[in-house]
């Protein structure tokens, strides 16, 4: 008997359209460098900007610190974030997107200026390194870059020329030039260096341009020491400066690079908040080696049946590429190849000869990380809100609870080497933390590291007081731990005759397993499902609150011990007839 086919997901839609439809508007972005795009209600790009901190820059727009008349905001309905690995990457991505979209409120970067590259003419008899713009791939030419300015590119060109004494002349002279006499060129044109040795110097320069500076750095350091020993101090100083320059060449550019034709790069991101019933796909369109468009797509998913990555990917590829006539030459997908996807790939791309590659390497690995950041920013930047009723209903069904768990309380223990043991209790109502009802406990009755007994003490103290004050009880009690911690909590509840009134579960961190009182084996639900995201949020918040209190207690104890030892030292000094320091005092 075969399983019933899984129902199709709703249509994937651009993130800007969903944000405008649900009136999410201008959300606070992540506190990382990147590019942001203001979009109109129709999805058109109104403005593209870059920032060291996306969150702060968008807040500056909202507070009218950048545009005094608010024109951009008046024309915009949503904002889209593309986090990058560095500010340099954000600069190049901004330039690429501005030239592609031509936003009305971007006054710069609309020309056809291209970024400089460095080319190594390995096809020539005596290769050299030179600066080029608008490079085209051809035999006998290696391209590296791009660089953010011609000054930067020329600096690297000079660094390699000085370091490896490379050819600088456009045409080979018939006799040694001034560069040779200044010891800045090895003069292969007149045979001052063997052609094979010169080729090895070119190979070392190529290694540096490819980011393999570690292979060359040790050789340069040794050569610098030998030059200093020969009292060739000018050469030694040049090599010293070159070592500093090598450190600046380690960062590789991921936004623009070599390549021809169109390539798509995509990645998935699941939500980390239980109220976000969406999965995001971050899509990059790369043409001729340059990121031309960014397209974050979102799909609404059910709370009780979140699809696996392979299913999300299958349906996205079918919906997005199934109706297109012009397809990319290659598609790169971040992550491992999911099972059961072969038939879809063959149907969509097989007869067209389009290659779909998972876990890309090299430059496309960097692009896949950019797509992952795009997807993550799209799915995470959602205003905090109560968990939808369907999430709480799905959690009730998962745990077979008697009522909808509108109120969840979580308990955790924190201890270090048997000292300053503390417990924490957090409260979530309708999926949101209610910090006014958080409580902290100093463990009183347990010595050593008996975690189970500490859980029992916190549960007993908490609900003994709740009963005495006739306060509301939780719909679900979550214990941070496994079967042992859950058993200890159940014993305390049983002693208070609360076993039937407070359902309790345990949630273990390592495998995200859910322990229930009446099951020998734990549940192992999909960790990306909305009910599990809610349980994990309660567990992680209880852990954070407990660790924070434990660290506070340790600092207080260390401060008291330091003050006590200082007072004892002063007392001993006074008893010996030595007056203590007039400026000294005890630490409170």
pLDDT band at 588 (very low <50, low <70, confident <90, very high): very low
Higher-scoring residue by pLDDT: 562, 479: 479
Could you tell me the two tokens for 372? 């992952």
Is residue 579 scored above 60 in pLDDT?
A: no
d(CA 106, CA 48): 7
Least confident of 98-112, 137-151, 218-232, 456-470: 98-112
Q: SS3 for 466?
A: helix
> For tokens 């099972």, what's the residue?
339
Distance CA 455, CA 411 (A): 8
Q: Which residue has the tokens 């970067």?
A: 109
In terms of average pLDDT, the best of 116-125, 257-266, 442-451, 540-549 is 540-549
Distance CA 431, CA 426 (A): 12
Give the residue-averaged pLDDT of 546-567.
82
> Which stretch of 11-25, 169-183, 537-551 has the lowest confidence by average pLDDT?
11-25
What is residue 110's predicted lDDT score, i.e. its pLDDT? 46
Question: What per-residue confidence (pLDDT) applies to 585?
Answer: 41
What are 290's two structure tokens? 């340059």
Q: Per-residue pLDDT for 259 more than 80?
A: no
Higher pLDDT, 72 or 369: 369
Query: pLDDT, tens digit, for every residue of 263-287?
Result: 999 999 988 777 777 888 999 988 8
pLDDT over 50 (residue 31): yes
Give the CA distances from residue 274 to residues 401, 416, 491, 535, in Å, rounded to whole numbers and listed in that order.
18, 31, 30, 9
Q: Which residues contact 356 (CB under 8 A, 6 or more apart)?
A: 330, 331, 332, 333, 345, 349
Q: What is the bridge-based pairing of β-strands 290-300 and 278-287?
A: antiparallel
Range 95-104 average pLDDT: 79
pLDDT of residue 523: 92
- 287-327 pLDDT tens trace: 877 788 888 888 877 777 778 888 888 888 888 887 677 78
Q: What does the pLDDT read at residue 276?
A: 73
CB 570 within 8 A of CB 580: yes
pLDDT tens, residue by residue, 421-430: 899 999 999 9
Q: pTM for the complete prediction?
A: 0.62
251 neighbors 145 (Cβ within 8 angstroms): no
Among 29-33, 117-121, 158-162, 406-410, name the most confident range: 406-410
| Total Cβ atoms within 10 A of residue 232 | 15
Given this model, what pLDDT does residue 218 score?
A: 75
Instruction: Give the strands of the sheet with 278-287, arranged side by side.
Output: 13-14, 290-300, 278-287, 262-269, 330-333, 355-358
Domains of the chain in sequence order: 13-110+257-380 (3.40.1440.10), 117-248 (no CATH), 389-550 (3.30.420.340)
What are 37's strand-pairing partners?
Answer: 48, 80
List, for residues 374-422, the tens digit of each pLDDT value.
Answer: 998 888 765 556 778 888 999 999 999 999 999 999 999 998 776 788 9
| pLDDT exceeds 60 at position 565 | yes
Mean confidence (pLDDT) of the chain: 81
271-280, 367-376, 495-504: segment of lowest average pLDDT:
271-280
CA neighbor of 221 nearest in space, from 185, 195, 247: 247
At residue 253, the pLDDT reads 43
pLDDT exceeds cutoff 50 at 330: yes
Residue 492, judged by CB atoms within 10 A of its CB (0-12, 13-18, 19+), counts as buried
Output the pLDDT for position 582.
Answer: 44
Dihedral of the alpha carbons of 43, 49, 53, 58, in degrees to the nearest 10: -50
Query: Would the pLDDT of 251 be above 50?
Result: no
């Amino acid at each position: 008997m075969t399983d019933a086919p899984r129902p199709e997901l709703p249509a994937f839609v651009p993130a800007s359209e969903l944000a405008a439809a649900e009136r999410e508007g201008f959300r606070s972005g992540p506190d990382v460098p990147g590019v942001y795009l203001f979009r109109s209600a129709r999805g058109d790009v109104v403005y593209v900007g870059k920032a060291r901190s996306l969150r702060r820059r968008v807040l500056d727009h909202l507070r009218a610190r950048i545009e005094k008349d608010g024109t951009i905001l008046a024309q915009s309905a949503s904002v889209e974030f593309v986090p990058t690995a560095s500010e340099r990457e954000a600069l190049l991505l901004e330039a690429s997107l501005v030239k592609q979209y031509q936003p009305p409120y971007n006054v710069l970067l609309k020309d056809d200026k291209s970024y400089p590259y460095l080319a190594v003419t390995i096809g020539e008899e005596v290769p050299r390194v030179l600066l080029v713009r608008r490079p085209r791939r051809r035999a006998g030419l290696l391209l590296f870059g791009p660089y953010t300015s011609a000054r930067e590119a020329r600096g690297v060109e000079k660094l390699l020329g000085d370091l490896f004494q490379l050819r600088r002349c456009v045409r080979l002279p018939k006799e040694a030039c001034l560069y040779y006499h200044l010891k800045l060129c090895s003069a292969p044109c007149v045979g001052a260096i063997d052609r094979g040795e010169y080729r090895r110097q070119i190979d070392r320069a190529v290694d540096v341009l490819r980011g393999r500076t570690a292979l060359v750095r040790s050789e340069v350091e040794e050569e610098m020491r030998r030059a200093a020993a020969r009292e060739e101090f000018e050469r030694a100083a040049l090599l010293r400066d070159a070592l500093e320059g090598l450190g600046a060449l380690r960062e590789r550019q991921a936004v623009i690079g070599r390549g021809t034709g169109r390539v798509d790069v995509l990645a998935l991101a699941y939500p980390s908040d239980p109220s976000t019933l969406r999965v995001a796909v971050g899509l990059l369109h790369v043409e001729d080696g340059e990121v031309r468009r960014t397209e974050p797509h979102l799909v609404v998913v059910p709370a009780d049946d979140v699809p696996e990555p392979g299913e999300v990917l299958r349906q996205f590829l079918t919906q997005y590429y199934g109706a297109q006539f012009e397809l990319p030459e290659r598609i790169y997908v971040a992550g491992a190849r999911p099972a059961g996807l072969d038939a879809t790939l063959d149907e969509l791309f097989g007869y067209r000869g389009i290659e779909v590659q998972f876990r890309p390497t090299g430059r496309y690995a960097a692009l896949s990380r950019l797509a992952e950041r795009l997807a993550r920013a799209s799915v995470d930047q959602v205003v905090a809100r109560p968990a939808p009723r369907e999430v709480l209903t799905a959690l009730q069904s998962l745990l077979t609870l008697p009522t909808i768990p509108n109120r969840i309380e979580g308990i955790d223990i924190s201890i270090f080497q048997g000292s300053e043991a503390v417990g924490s209790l957090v409260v979530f109502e309708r999926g949101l933390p209610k910090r006014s009802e958080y409580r902290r406990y100093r463990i009183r009755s347990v010595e050593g590291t008996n975690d189970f007994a500490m859980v029992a003490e916190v549960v007993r103290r908490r609900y003994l007081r709740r009963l005495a004050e006739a306060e509301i009880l939780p719909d679900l009690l979550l214990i941070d731990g496994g079967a042992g911690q859950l058993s200890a909590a159940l014993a305390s509840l049983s002693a208070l005759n609360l076993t039937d009134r407070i359902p309790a579960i345990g949630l273990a961190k390592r495998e995200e397993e859910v322990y229930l009182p009446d099951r020998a084996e734990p549940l192992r639900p999909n960790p990306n499902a909305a009910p599990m995201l809610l349980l994990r949020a309660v567990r992680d918040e209880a852990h954070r609150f407990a660790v924070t209190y434990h660290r506070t207690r340790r600092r207080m104890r260390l401060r008291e011990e330091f003050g006590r030892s200082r007072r004892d030292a002063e007392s001993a000094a006074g008893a010996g007839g030595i007056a203590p320091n007039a400026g000294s005092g005890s630490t409170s």
